[in-house]
Amino acid sequence: MNKQIDVLLQKAEEQKNELIELAKTLIAFQTPAPPARNTDKIQSWIAGFLNEMGFSIDKWEVYPGDPNVVGVLKGTDSGSHQSLIINGHVDVAEVDEEGWEHDPFHPVEKNGCLVGRGAADMKGGMASVLFALKLIRNAGIDLPGDVILQSVIGEEVGEAGTLECCKRGYRADFAVVADTSDLHIQGQGGVITGWIELKSRQTFHDGTRRNMIHAGGGTFGASVIEKMAKIIHGLGELERHWAIMKSYPGFKAGTNTINPAVIEGGRHAAFIADECRLWITVHFYPNETHEEVAAEIEDHINRLSDSDVWLRENRPVFTWGGSSMIEDRGEIFPALEVDPHHPAVSELTASHRHIKQTNPVIDVSQSVTDGGWLYNAGIPSVIYGPGDLHNAHAVNEEVSIEQLVDYTKIMLGFIIKWCSTRKEQ
């Protein structure tokens, strides 16, 4: 087996131009989200690529114009050998072309890097995985365990194409999310968005403001925008409390944040504001759930409201999560904890060490990926891919070509060895 792998590693080096062209092909598909609903062409292309390699194809629409593609390559002895999911998303961050030196969707090579929207996040990683699988198939290697390639939509806007794969019943003994990690083996915290809404029981003309803010005015009312400012202050106090009282290995103190991201309120200048909505983004640690942190926030704000005469009678309303930042303006990304002693993590570490001559860093992502959905479904998972977060979503986004080649080589060895490993009896 090692000799077979060494031959493929040499081919990966010799044929790296094919890898680069494959990555350029994927980047050239314009799939920014938002606006989304634009991935059918790239997904059809990937489905065709996998089909030519003997994968069975499952393609279905998650949203109109945004289908998932899952390719399954059945192993020769699936019941006795380990199976693997490799997961990646084909949507990319939205594009403002100002500042780009080239068309974001006409990738170019520059200073040893591939430049284009999605190069780092994460079409470079997807290209490497597809190229590795092609090299394995072209070599005539029949893997004993199953390989499942998930090409999903919606990650950039909280539309969990990966969750839909889980709902459809796709499972494996281990999963690698080939997203941006700079070749670190990573877990992640979680994210949930929420809306806090305040609404006055009465609507007042702006001329009555004196009556509700000065002595003897006799009017029980308030500007809901001003009351929301009090809630924002309270969220900041809770955020600071979390930074002091909570921690998790690998995260800098205070990474668990409550971001007041968007505020909407008021009718127009002739009225006292009688409605206000605050959209918040909450980052939490891998050993927490989104239900737990949402409950903490609600409890804190409700206690704050108990201390305010007006808020006691006009309680805040909370709405959490959602399935799409586009469709219902909400999202959830569950957390993911890496088990450094899992045999697949050990195998991935060994493959990394063989190529890079050093052990990989095992840590936590400062962002979130679809890996949380796989982990949440009971599949041991890691984030492991090329590219770094400084380039993800950036103007003139780029990824090192050398890193793409290294990642291809690492995944070649890992796929072959893991899918040739017998399951524990």
Query: Rounded CA gap, 26 and 120, in Å?
Result: 12
Selecting among 66, 91, 173, 370, the annotated active-site residue is: 91
Q: How far, in whole angstroms, is CA 216 from its chain's centroid? A: 54
E strands within 127-252? 147-152, 174-177, 185-188, 190-199
Element (H, E) at 163: helix 161-167
Q: Under DSSP, is residue 251 helix (H, G, I), strand (E, B) or coil? A: coil
Q: Under DSSP, is residue 152 helix (H, G, I), strand (E, B) or coil? A: strand
Element (H, E) at 282: strand 275-284
Strands 108-110 and 381-383: what pairing?
unpaired
CA dihedral for 28, 34, 38, 40, sign (positive or negative): positive
Residues 180 and 366: beta-carbon distance below 8 Å: no
Query: Rounded CA gap, 374 and 385, in Å?
Result: 16
Strand pairing partners for 187?
364
Distance (Å) of CA 375 to CA 250, 318, 360, 368: 19, 27, 21, 13
Q: Under DSSP, is residue 64 helix (H, G, I), strand (E, B) or coil? A: coil
**Side-by-side strand order, sheet with 113-115:** 108-110, 113-115, 398-400
Establish whether 292 is a catalytic residue. no
Q: Residues near 92 by Cβ (< 8 Å), separated by ≥ 6?
A: 31, 32, 33, 117, 118, 121, 123, 156
Q: Under DSSP, is residue 278 helix (H, G, I), strand (E, B) or coil? A: strand
Selecting among 146, 155, 182, 398, the annotated active-site residue is: 155
Q: How far, in whole angstroms, is CA 55 from its chain's centroid? A: 26
Query: Rounded CA gap, 395 and 12, in Å?
Result: 29
Establish whether 91 is a catalytic residue. yes
Residues 29 and 42: beta-carbon distance below 8 Å: yes
- Residue (of 194, 164, 160, 86) closest to 369 by Cα position: 160
* Residue 358: other Cβ atoms inside 10 A: 8
Supply the DSSP symbol for 423: P
Which residues are known catalytic residues?
91, 155
